[in-house]
C-alpha cells in the first residue's frame, strides 16, 4: 500500500461511524467483552487498549464476596469449553472502591454485571451502584447455570423475569440489560417478559448447560458436575436466538455466543444485534477484540457502508 493509499484509508476510517446506542448506553463501537471472560479489564491491558472497546462488561458482582466453586472449574470440549466458576468475586464494595475508580480513570466504558440469590439482593445491588460515576449500565445475570441459588432459576420463568427486571429498574436510573439464558423452551417468551418488566436492552445468550465425564475416573469432570458451554460450538444456537428475539421484541440486543472473528460478529449484527460481546475468543487470542473492530471497519470500507447501524438486522425478514 502506498503512503497516499494509507492516508486516504485513514481519512475514510475517520468518517466511518461505529457508534451504537444500546438502550441508552452510548458505545463507541459495537465490540464489547463478555462478563467473566475479561476480569475487570486490567488483566488484558498488555494486549488491548481497553478504553477503545465498546464496553467492558466486568465480572459478575454480588453484594458479599463469593469464594466460587471448587476445582476443576473448566474443561475444554470440542470447539468450546465448559465452565463452572461459581461467581467468584470480591463483592460490590471492593468493586466500587477499587476497580471502578481505576476503570474510570482509564476512560473505560463499564457495564456492571450483577447477580444475587434473591430478588431483593438484585434490587439492593442496583441501588448500591446507582449514581456511581463511571457505570454505563447494568447487566442482570439471571442466567448463571453454576450457582446453587438464584441465577438460572430466575431466568427461566417469565413471571420471575418480569418481576426481577421491574424490581431492579425501580432502584436505578441506569439502563438495565438482562442477560438471558438459552436453557429455555421459548427464548422469545423470556425476552418479552424482560421487555414488559422495563428492560432497556437484552443480552443473549449466556452459556448452555452441559457436562463432561472422565471415563477413567467414571465421574463428572467438573467439581460442580454441570457447567456452562461457551465458544464457537454454541454460535449457531446463539445466532438463532438473537434472530428470533430481534423479530419479536422491540429492544436493542447485545449478541454473544461463540464469536471468534469479524465474520461471526457481522452475522450477529445482521441477525439484529446492535452490539456484540466477545467471550471465549479472548482466551484463544487476547487481541481478538481489537482485530474485530478493525475488521468491521475494513468490511464497511469494502462495502461502502458509512454507518455500522445500517447493517444491524440486515438479514432479518423484510
Residues that bind another protein (CB under 8 A): 36-39, 43-44, 46-47, 59, 67-76, 78-81, 83, 85, 88, 231-232, 260, 280, 282-287
Is it true that the peptide bond before 189 is cis, omega within 30 degrees of 0? no
Cβ distance to another protein smaller for residue 34 or 276 = 34
Exactly one of 144, 152, 174, 229 is catalytic; name it.
Answer: 144
Residue 215, judged by CB atoms within 10 A of its CB (0-12, 13-18, 19+), counts as: exposed
What is the C-alpha separation between 52 and 204, in angstroms, rounded?
23
User: Residues 203, 103, 52, CA angle at the centre, nearest 5°?
Assistant: 65
Pairing of strands 20-22, 25-27: antiparallel
201 catalytically annotated: no
CB of 214 to another protein, least distance (A): 12
CB of 245 to another protein, least distance (A): 26
3-state secondary structure of 106: coil
What is the C-alpha separation between 125 and 144, in angstroms, rounded?
17
Which residue has 479489564 as its cell numbers?
Answer: 41
Cβ distance to another protein smaller for residue 66 or 128 = 66
Cβ distance to another protein smaller for residue 72 or 220 = 72
CB of 43 to another protein, least distance (A): 4
Cβ distance to another protein smaller for residue 127 or 213 = 213
What Rg value do the Cα atoms of the chain yield, rounded? Answer: 19
Active site residues: 144
Amino acid at each position: 500500500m502506498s503512503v497516499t493509499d494509507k492516508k486516504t484509508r485513514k481519512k475514510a476510517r475517520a468518517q466511518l461511524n461505529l457508534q451504537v446506542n444500546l438502550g441508552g448506553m452510548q458505545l463507541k463501537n459495537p465490540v464489547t467483552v463478555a462478563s467473566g471472560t475479561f476480569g475487570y479489564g486490567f488483566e488484558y491491558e498488555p494486549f488491548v487498549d481497553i478504553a477503545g472497546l465498546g464496553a467492558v462488561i466486568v465480572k459478575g458482582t454480588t453484594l458479599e464476596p463469593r469464594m466460587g466453586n471448587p476445582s476443576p472449574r473448566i474443561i475444554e470440549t470440542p470447539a468450546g469449553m465448559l465452565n463452572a466458576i461459581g461467581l467468584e468475586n470480591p463483592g460490590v464494595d471492593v468493586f466500587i472502591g477499587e476497580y471502578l475508580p481505576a476503570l474510570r480513570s482509564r476512560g473505560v466504558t463499564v457495564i456492571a454485571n450483577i447477580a444475587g440469590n434473591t430478588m431483593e439482593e438484585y434490587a439492593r445491588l442496583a441501588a448500591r451502584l446507582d449514581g456511581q460515576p463511571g457505570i454505563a449500565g447494568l447487566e442482570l445475570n439471571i442466567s448463571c447455570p453454576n450457582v446453587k441459588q438464584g441465577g438460572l432459576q430466575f431466568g427461566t420463568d417469565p413471571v420471575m423475569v418480569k418481576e426481577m427486571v421491574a424490581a431492579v429498574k425501580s432502584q436505578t436510573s441506569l439502563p438495565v440489560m438482562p442477560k438471558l439464558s438459552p436453557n429455555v423452551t421459548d427464548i422469545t417468551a423470556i425476552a418479552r417478559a424482560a421487555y414488559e418488566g422495563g428492560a432497556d436492552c437484552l443480552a443473549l445468550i449466556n452459556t448452555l448447560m452441559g457436562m463432561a465425564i472422565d471415563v477413567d475416573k467414571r465421574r463428572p469432570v467438573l467439581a460442580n458436575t454441570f457447567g456452562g458451554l461457551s465458544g464457537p460450538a454454541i454460535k449457531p444456537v446463539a445466532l438463532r436466538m438473537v434472530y428470533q428475539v430481534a423479530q419479536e421484541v422491540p429492544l436493542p440486543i447485545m449478541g454473544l455466543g461463540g464469536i471468534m472473528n469479524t465474520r461471526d460478529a457481522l452475522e450477529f449484527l445482521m441477525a439484529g444485534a446492535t452490539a456484540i460481546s466477545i467471550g471465549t475468543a479472548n482466551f484463544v487470542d487476547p487481541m481478538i477484540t481489537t482485530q474485530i473492530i478493525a475488521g468491521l471497519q475494513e468490511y464497511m470500507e469494502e462495502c461502502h457502508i458509512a454507518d455500522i447501524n445500517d447493517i444491524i438486522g440486515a438479514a432479518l425478514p423484510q
